[in-house]
Structure 1
Amino acid sequence: MLISTSQPKGAIQQTHLLEATASAANALLTVDNLDQAVNMALQIIGETLDTDRVCVIENFQRPSELFPGWKILYEWHSRHTVSQIYHPQVAQGTYKGITDWYDRINQGQALSYLLEEMPEPFRSGQAAIGVKALHIVPIFIDGKCWGSVGFDDCREAKRRSTDELAVLKTAAACIGSAIQRQRIQETLLQAEKERAAELIRINEALQHRDRLLSAVAQVTKNLLETEDIDVAVPTALQAIGEVANMSRVQLILEFADQATKKLHHRITYEWVAPGIVPQINHPTMAVIDNDHAEVIVKELYAGRSIWRIIDDLPDVIRWQFESIGIKSTGGVPLFIEGRYIGAVTFDDCIQYRQWSQQEIDVLTTAAEGIGAALHRKQLVEAKQAAVASEQEKASQRQLTELARANESLRICVNRLADQLDSEKFLEHILLEASAQIGSYAAALFLYEDSSHNTRVMKGYVREGEVVPIKKNPEMAMFQVPISGNTCTFWETSLLRGEAVVFNLDDCDEQVYPQINWHRTQGHRSIVRVPLILGSRPLGFIGLCFREYRASLPQNIELIMTLAQQATLAIHLTKLAENSRHAAILEERNRMAREIHDTLAQAFTGVIVQLGAASRIVTDDLIEVQTHITQARDLAREGLAEARRSLNALRPQILETGNLSKAFNRLVSQMSTSIDTQIVCRIVGQVYSLSVDIENNLLRIGQEALTNAIKHARASEIKIELVYETIQMILRIKDNGQGLNTDSLSVVKGFGLMGIKERSDRIGGQLTIQSIPGQGTEITILITN
């Protein structure tokens, strides 16, 4: 074999290679089609190097094999050279027999071998495609060996100089970075498509919820306005079934068999979707024996709704349900004056349905509306019977009161369907309830924490007028949350959904601290009506009277119905706020992650590569240096712009300053509206932390301040930001009532779980020291 040794040709040869590398890098950065860009770059390098074949080779691990593998992704070859990428035996392979090559490439070494220096069986494969000399330079991405670029000499065996291989390493790195950048972009594009699909799914769920809520409001309105129950209930069942995508909706009522005295449930009203088998006329399923459905009836008797798939039911009832196509079933119990009368049931015969809590809440409200209509029917029938036995004047007065109650409910339902301002709607409920029951004043309180002991007044009316809570001096004690033990008077009744009455003359001031305020207002009796969603108490409506009351008013059922409307409005408002806040926070976090993971890292990689090329180019190549400098400046501008976009997603209070200024501004804002003394102290020379750390420290500080003011009732709070060389410390200390941090419910209720999660997220060391009655100190240590 004829062997010629290619000696270094000095600065001219190195210049040609550098120019080719710059041209190849330019093609990789400017040509949109990656395949076209890489092939163009390989051709430029191959022709400049006067070689016969240039290949981009990717390494990959084979879990079931001992040796790693390699495969050719791109190839350029001269006119008279055999293609390797389409050769069935040598387009890919393993490092078996050449493991030392793999180790040296991973160490960043370039390889150069003549054919006779190659080991078998690799040498035979190379000889088959005409290789006389092989040169390999590694490709590193993010500090790891990604693969290599191979250069084959097929016309004559050539030795390549160290300088040539060094320049080719830069070209190889540019090619590898372009391929990796394209893959990252494809991955991000796929993630964006998946995110878009997820947002569509969420939006569809929200629209479905809104349709449900709108339908329930309309159903309630129709039940109130339609006098004929035989028309109102079937219409309501159809409206609920269609909007909730049900297969079957029924009203089933319990009755006792006259002969056997056994209890059964009979389908009284039913709506079915097209193609679904009706149950109301079924020979064996129109009437259900309570003994056969004991597991369901037991839950309904206890006042608990059921939401099951068919596989979770016992065999005896599962077989019956399967015979009429049921796959999932739900039921809401109905009670009239504390007595169980039946249930509204929902069947899905298309899919095994997992009911969401939102669906359950809305469907429960709809079922309760039907139960209220049945109760109203009983009241009407009772009043009609009274009309026959009482004098005409008394009968007309009762009918007038009933019409007035129905009109009141109809107006409230219309406002619930149309009123966008929940506070205005709740004020209307208070005015209507006070007018209907004849109270001197009325107030609405909501619970603020899971213990149900902290209450916030959300509305107050007196003598038919709305009293502004925040601006009225006599309402000062209600301008802040009120803590107290509510169990004494009514929590037991609350959980049963019952209203209670009590007289202030019988109350102990230690048990009911607000008694003096009520006495200054002339109040003697108070009726409390619970606001309950399912089994969750949300608050109550208090109705104040200036006369002594021995029992609940006769029209308390009307007030209970008004309270249900208020409960639904409160729940709708919370659902809307939670959905909006979650969507905003998720989108901000997603944008910040994408900017950091794509633009910022990509620009940083370009700057590093251009810096390496700049150091290799000699000083007399002014034109090449100019292009490299311009490209590096553009990349730095892009990196700065990406960082500005990332900073734009920070909390507004951090936008115009650092963390210490943000805390001072936060203290200033909070101090203007409360009597608590708040002091912020900065120790050491202030320096910047990462955006994520500053964001989370600020949120931790806000949560700790809120806890100290709202729950601990501290009169003095001290904040310290300590900037040291190796660490930064945030400390919040108050002189409040303290707490027992060993109690999980207390930790959750006072937001300490959120503080811990934020501290863990930024790698902080969290310490919470608190003694009941002696205050709390929260410390977060961040190591630099």
Structure 2
Amino acid sequence: MLAPNYLEENSNGMRSHFGDRILEATTIAVNALLSIDNFDEAVKTALQVMGESLDCDRLGVIEHFPIPLSTLPGWRSLYEWNAPNIIAQISHPTTAQGTYAGIEEWYQRLQAGESISCLLEEIPEPFRSGQAAIGVKALFAVPIFVEELFWGVLSFDHCRQVKHTSTAELTLLKTAAACIGSAIQRQRIRQTEQKRTEELAKVNQELQQRDRLLSVVAQVTKNLLDTEDIDIAIPQALQAIGEVAKISRVQVILERQNPSTQKLQHCITYEWVAGGISPQIHHPTMAIIDNDDAEILLRELHAGRSIWYLVDNLPHPLKAQFQSLNIKSSGGVPLFIEGRYIGCVAFDDCVTPRHWSQQEMDVLTTAAEGIGAALHRKQLVAHLIQERASTVEKRVAELVRANESLRGCVNRLADEPDLETFWEHILLEASAQAKSYAAALFLYDASTNTSLMKRYVREGKVIPIHTDPEFVQFRLPISANIFSYWQEALFKGEVIFFNVEDNKKLLGARIKWHRAQGHRSIVRVPLILGDRPLGFIGLCFREPRTGLPANIELIIALAQQATLAIHLTSLAEQSRQAAILEERNRMAREIHDTLAQAFTGVIVQLGAASRIIPQDLPEVQEHITQARELAREGLAEARRSVNALRPQILETQNLPTAFHHLVTQMSAVIDTQIICKIIGEAYPLTVDVENNLLRIGQEALTNAIKHAFASKIVIELVYEPTQLILRVKDNGKGFAPESLAVVKGFGLMGIKERCDRIKAQLTIKSLPQPGTEITILIRRD
């Protein structure tokens, strides 16, 4: 091993000059690596500059490469400069590459960043023999590190005479080695990036082509589905696929049995060819191909696998047959209908051969599936036509039965005075149509968030739930929270079904009752008015279910009729109550305006008569006094009758509470948003004033709902120290207040009469867009 300070006879000045020369050469080499475009030439130039400056015989860049199952890498010459008449190591048959066998210590030292300098006789075998073969007398090795990894070696060989290098010079050579290694690695990175860029460009091009093909295939599939005439749609599809994929010939080839020979054949049924390409569909020998002649291709297609091949690779005589049509490469995608092979879609390249990627084959397979679906549809048409008559007859019969059922319900709804009896009919009909064991009607009360069973039918009979001991637990309202799942579906208006044993938590304690009744599954149909739930019909079955009844639409229609009946019942009750109230008010006015006033007149006249008749007629005075007492008693009784006929709600509640109750009642039956506001501290008014104010508010609210078609109505009752204001505002359709016809038609005349009766000031503001505002002002004095 050479000592670092070998050949001490060299003067310090010569060493300094040699080091400067190495540094200068390193600078020139780095500049060459950065400035010369051709990287290989740049490296060779750098090595030449370094080799000549070092006055060595061979200068090389050696890189590492991995060796399977070995902990140490191998090495090989990557770049090399040689002095004249020196053997080139990079092209030597045995020393161009090798391993670290025998010089493992060198690898460890180089990996640790040390340099190696050795005379030939100091080199271990078998490495020494290889170096001797290429004329090495002394060698120097400087490690190259790239990103802190031991990447390779910068080697210096002396072949003509032994020359030595100092430690300082080796340090400078390390810098040169690092520059060369970094430059090589940068070039490899650029090459990798360039290759990656080219690969990405190629992939991007393939993806763009695939996307174009996908777009066309999607449109083709849509056209195949939309076009009734398949014989027109399929050729159009083949043309679209062929043009976008730049294919010479696209065909649909169907398999059939030759009626004469009973052999299977493939027959070209549809075809599209590009310009200048000969059609195959009319070819004398290739329009129909026996399966036996193309067995090597059909084997894959029958197995459901696509094929693609170069014609030159096909066996004779199949190769000659394809070449007669100028086919260079060809492929096929199998067609299956209901799992049965029916043929294929074939693609021919007649200009230049090519190989399709798997992605493109997948897209073409999708196109073939669309064509297969179209062919399937064509096959089904005849079968469907045959079945259509019987299907239509069956459907007509079902519709007739459904129509009779609905007509019967409608007629019963029109003729049945008792709407609750109509509910029973609806339940019986729904249960019969659904073929359920039993059916129940539940009504939902939004104010208490409860449901109450109203009717129950079983096996075609109405069960008296109010007297039958089986239904004791259903005589009280059931909290909707118990049926949270039902409640959620109820508000969504969804028809649901479930099996009893799968939903024990849903039924809670009532599961015992359902089990005792033999219920195994339940279908629940909501009763919805607008977006407001009124209840539901529950159909109970004695067998588990996997879905809704087939005629669920008819059952929903029956449920809608039940909803109508419930709504009519509610409206009828409201109308009855309104009529009663109006009649009570009319009677109160009659009593007040006739009988009470008459009694008052009689009392006044008797008082006058008592003053006129002389006092010496005591019998007459006594009769007059008795008559006056009877008249006073009659007047008091008339006033009590008037008070008894005032609105019942005002008997137990004040005016603000009465208005709140009115709003709650109206909101329960309509979708309009109604808001009641009480402003100020409420104080009592006379019975007549409160009665008329309530009736005025009721009439104004009714007008806004019936005539204005408002979506929002606001009622304000404003209590001020000296006056009371009742204001009813809506955002509906306005009118012209000065129109007499409108005033009469909208019932505003009655509002005006009531205002006059209690000496209240009436103001009406109305425009087409903002809506109507009615204000009634009454002073406390």
Q: Is the pair's TM-score, using the shorter chain for normalization, greater than 0.5?
A: no
Q: Give the number of the structure with larger relative contact order, counting CA–CA contacts within 8 Å between residues 6 or more apart.
A: 1
Structure number with larger C-alpha Rg = 2
- Shorter-chain TM-score: what band? 0.3 to 0.5
TM-score (norm 1): 0.37
